[in-house]
Amino acid sequence: MASEGPLRVALDAMGGDRAPAEVVKGGLAAARDFGVAVALVGDRSRIEELLGDEDRAEGVTIVHARDVVSMNDHPAEAVRRKRNSSIAVAARLVKEGEADALVSAGHTGAAMAAALFHIGRVRGVDRPAIAVPLPTATGVCLLLDAGANVEVRPEHLVQFAQMGAVYARHVLGLDHPRVGLLNVGEEPTKGSRVVQEAYQRLLSTAGVSFVGNVEGKDVPVGAADVIVCDGFTGNIVLKLAEGLSAAMFELLRRDAFAGWRGAVAGALLRPSLRRIRRRLDYAEFGGAPLLGVDGVVAIAHGRSDRRAIRNAIRAAVQAARQSVPARIGQAMDIIYQECEARA
């Protein structure tokens, strides 16, 4: 539950490729811009060196954590063994009610393990899912799962659809988010047994405006607002989208804008290209929510700079203000009651 005063964010200051410097700067920016209280969790001496005179910024505190989970650590083992790591301490702050949200750009597996171990799942959720906002031709869609669950059952895909719909309504501001099931074809008989069964279940799932199967080509054109799939497929889609975006701008720079004619064209198109690049930039979205845990958790990109961290905190604050975990719990209760009625 959100606190009555300023929302409190536990920021894993030691997590990410650019930690702690860029993470700390992003936390300071969020505290100034959004009026939230930010607890920088990590090595106190290193954080204080970075803060300097800014350590007196209103709402910014330091919570010491002597250990760090590295990218080479096994996530679950590290969280159990390194109980004083920055990610574990930050997760406990949420569990104990000392923070309303957790943000980390560190080891994704460790963030998930810490959330499950210390915060726990929402009642009725079997598998939490990573939900990534992807830019489309019409706005943005939410892709889940993006890597938390490599193998799933039909009921997991149904839960992903419900959780995604809740987030899209209350954070992305979509009144009736369209939910699509990622598949190799539009027909109900296409895809694996798991996907076919999930399709049939989604036709009658409460709170989900199911539009049927969507193919990979439908994702960037905005055929659905929420795209549901297993984590193996979702992570490939996510990484492919990132690679295509980078390759497109590199091709434009190298080929389309080469020579004096290209330079003239580039100068004319520069404002439009900047707008497009900004829409495709992961830093604009900041963090991907981990839906299904009993607290707000946002996982930022490992390469996050201060702008991305700031925006990840913004997304986490929006989710906390809208009580997303509680709303997901309400959606799960509806399914539970329907199942009981049919039994």
| Dihedral-angle region of residue 121 (phi above 0 means left; psi in -120 to 50 means alpha; beta otherwise) | beta
Q: What is the pLDDT of residue 2?
A: 45
What pLDDT shows up at residue 281? 60
pLDDT(107) > 80 = yes
pLDDT of residue 11: 97
Q: In the predicted model, is pLDDT for residue 1 greater than 50?
A: no
More confident residue, 141 or 286: 141
| Choice between 32 and 342, residue whose per-residue pLDDT is larger | 32
**Whether the predicted pLDDT of 343 surpasses 60:** no
Strand partners, 140: 135
pLDDT at 306: 93
Q: State pLDDT tens for residues 141-166.
A: 999 999 889 999 999 999 999 999 99
Task: For residue 99, count other CB atoms closer than 10 A to its CB.
Answer: 28
- Specify burial of residue 341 (Cβ count, 10 A radius: 0-12, 13-18, 19+): exposed
Asked if residues 105 and 23 have their Cβ atoms less than 8 Å apart, the reply is yes
pLDDT-derived band at 276, boundaries 50, 70, 90:
low
Q: Please give the radius of gyration of the chain, using alpha carbons only, rounded to the nearest integer.
A: 21
Mean pLDDT score, 66-81: 85
- The structural domains of the chain, ordered by start, are 1-125+292-322 (3.40.718.10), 126-284 (3.40.718.10)
Residue 184 has pLDDT above 50, yes or no: yes
pLDDT bucket at 6, cuts 50 / 70 / 90? confident
Give Cα separations from 76 to 80, 93, 290 (angstroms).
Answer: 6, 19, 16
DSSP state of 73: S
Which stretches within the chain are classed as H helix? Answer: 21-34, 44-51, 75-81, 86-95, 108-114, 154-170, 193-202, 231-251, 259-280, 282-285, 306-321, 324-342
pLDDT of 63 above 90: yes
CA angle, 316 then 289 then 204, to 5°: 125
CA distance 89 to 91: 5
Q: Is the Cβ–Cβ distance between 185 and 199 less than 8 Å?
A: no
pLDDT, tens only, 111-146? 999 999 999 999 889 999 999 998 888 888 999 999
Q: Evaluate if residue 335 carries a pLDDT over 70.
A: no
Q: pLDDT tens across 238-274, in order?
A: 888 888 877 877 777 777 677 766 676 667 666 766 6
pLDDT of residue 4: 58
Q: How does the average pLDDT of the chain come out, rounded? A: 87
Adjacent-strand bridge partners of 298:
103, 289
Q: Give the global pTM.
A: 0.88
**CB within 8 Å of 157: residues ≥ 6 apart:** 181, 194, 195, 198, 202, 228, 229, 230
Q: pLDDT value at position 179?
A: 97
Q: Is the pLDDT of residue 339 over 80?
A: no
Q: Quick one: pLDDT band at residue 33, thresholds 50, 70, 90?
A: very high
Answer whether residue 55 shows pLDDT above 60. Answer: no
